[in-house]
Structure 1
Amino acid sequence: MSCRRRLAASLCAALAVASAAFAGDPGRIAGPAEVTDGDTLRIAGQRIRLLEIDAPERAQTCLDAAGAPWPCGEASTQALAELIDGAKVSCAWEEIDRYDRPLARCEARGRDLGRAMIAAGQAVIYRGRPELYGDVEAQAKAAKLGMWSGDFDTPWAFRRNGPSPKIARTGAALDAALEAEKGPGSPCPIKGNVSGNGRIYHMPGQADYLRTKIDESKGERWFCTEPEARDAGWRPAAR
Structure 2
Amino acid sequence: MPRRLIFVTVAAAAALAAHAAMQHSDSLPAINLQNLIGPKPQPITGVASVIDGDTIEVHGQRIRFNGIDAPESRQYCDDAKGFEYPCGRRSAEALDTFLAESRPVQCTFVKWDRYHRFVGECRRADGASVAGWMVEHGQALDWPRYSHGAYATQQAEAEAAKVGLWVGKFQAPWDWRASHADGAAPSSQPLGVVSRKLIAQSGSYSCEPRRYCSQISSCDEAQWYLHNCSWGRKLDRDGDGVACETLC
Match of 1:114 among 131, 139, 142: 131
Aligned residues: 177
Instruction: Give yes or no for contact 2:66–2:110 (8 Å, CA) kept in 1.
Output: no
**Quick check: 2:135–2:154 contact (8 Å CA) kept in 1?**
yes
Q: Equivalent residue for 2:6?
A: none
Q: Are the aligned partners of 1:118 and 1:124 in contact in 2 as well (CA < 8 Å)?
A: yes
In 2, distance between residues paired with 1:118 and 1:79? Answer: 11
TM-score w.r.t. the length of structure 1 is 0.63
Deviation string, structure 1 residues 60-118 (Cα, Å, up to 9, x no partner): 10001221111111100000000111710100022111111121111112110000000
Q: Is the 8 A contact 2:79 2:168 kept in 1?
A: yes
Structure 2 equivalent of residue 158 of structure 1:
176
Structure scoring higher RCO (CA < 8 A, sep ≥ 6) equals 2
Unaligned runs of 5+ in 1: 13-24, 164-177, 183-187, 197-201, 203-207, 215-223
Structure 2 residue aligned with 1:133: 151
**One-letter code aligned to 1:62:** C
> For 1:157 and 1:62, how far apart are their aligned partners in 2?
13
1:123 to 140, 146, 150: 140
Relative to structure 1, the CA distance from residue 212 to residue 66 in structure 2 (aligned partners, 3 Å threshold; closer, same or farther) is closer
**Is 1:56 aligned to residue 71 of structure 2?**
yes
Q: CA deviation at 1:237?
A: 4.5
Look up the match of 1:98.
114
How far 1:6 moved relative to its partner? Answer: 2.1
Separation (CA, whole Å) in 2 of partners of 1:103 and 1:50:
6
Q: Match for residue 49 of structure 2?
A: 34
1:209 deviates by: 6.6
SS in 1 for 2:116: coil
The structure that is helix-richer by fraction is 2
Q: Which blocks of at least 5 consecutive residues in structure 2 are unaligned?
A: 1-32, 182-201, 240-248
Pick from 88, 100, 105 the counterpart of residue 104 of structure 2: 88
Structure of higher CA gyration radius: 2
Q: Which has the higher strand share?
A: 1
Match of 2:189 in 1: none
Percentage of matched positions with identical amino acids: 32
Go from structure 1 to structure 2 and tell me whether the alpha carbon gap of 1:41 and 1:211 turns closer, same or farther (over 3 Å shift): closer
Cα gap change, 1:121/1:130 in structure 2, threshold over 3 Å: closer, same or farther?
Answer: farther
TM-score scaled by length of structure 2: 0.61
